[in-house]
Amino acid sequence: MPPENYTQNPTPPNEPSLPKPPKLSKKRIALLALLAGIVLLVAAWFLAFRSEGSQPGSGSSRESNQTSNTDTHPDRIRLIATGDFIAHDAVNKNAEKDGSYDYLQFMKDFEPVFQTADIRFCNDPILNGGKQFGITGYPNFNSPTEFVDDMNRLGCNLVNTASNHSFDKTQAVIDASVDAWAKQGNLLAVAGQNKDSTQHDMVHTFEIKGVKFAFLSYTTYLNKGTSPNNFGVNMFSKDFASKQIAEAKAAGAKVIIVSMRWGTEYSSAVNAAQKSNAQFLADQGVSLVLGHGPHVLQPVDKLKGSGGNETVVWYSLGNFLNTQEPAESLFGALGVVDFKASDGSISSIGYLPIYMHYEWTQQQKAAGDLLARKSLRMYLLEDATQDMIDKNQLSTTVAAQDARIKQILNTSVPVTTYTSEQYYQ
Q: Encode 376-413 in three state secondary structure.
A: EEEEEHHHCCHHHHHHCCCCCCHHHHHHHHHHHHCCCC
Output the domain CATH number for residue 255. Answer: 3.60.21.10
pLDDT at 68: 44
Mean pLDDT by 10 residues, the chain (425 residues): 33 35 43 47 37 31 39 95 99 98 99 98 99 98 99 99 99 99 98 99 99 99 96 99 99 99 99 99 99 99 98 99 99 99 99 99 98 99 98 98 99 99 98
Within-domain flag for 318: yes
Question: Residue 274's CB: how many other CB atoms inside 10 A?
Answer: 23
pLDDT at 24: 42
- Predicted structure pTM score: 0.84
pLDDT at 192: 99
Residue 215 vs residues 93, 289, 333: alpha-carbon distances, Å:
33, 10, 22
Q: Are strands 255-261 and 211-219 parallel, antiparallel or unpaired?
A: parallel
Within-domain flag for 138: yes
Amino acid residing at 183: K
Within-domain flag for 32: no
**Sign (positive or negative) of CA dihedral 186, 191, 194, 196:** positive
pLDDT at 187: 98
Within-domain flag for 192: yes
* H-only helix segments in 54-136: 89-95, 111-115
Within-domain flag for 120: yes
Number of domains in the chain: 1
* Cα 326 to Cα 264: distance, rounded to the nearest angstrom: 15
pLDDT at 343: 98
Q: Are strands 346-359 and 374-380 parallel, antiparallel or unpaired?
A: antiparallel
- Strand pairing partners for 317? 297
Give residues with Cβ within 8 angstroms of 363, minimum separation 6: none
Within-domain flag for 47: no
Domain that holds residue 316: 76-423
* Cα 314 to Cα 258: distance, rounded to the nearest angstrom: 11
Within-domain flag for 395: yes
Question: Residue 243's CB: how many other CB atoms inside 10 A?
Answer: 13
**CB of 174 within 8 A of CB of 120?**
no
pLDDT at 32: 46
Within-domain flag for 23: no
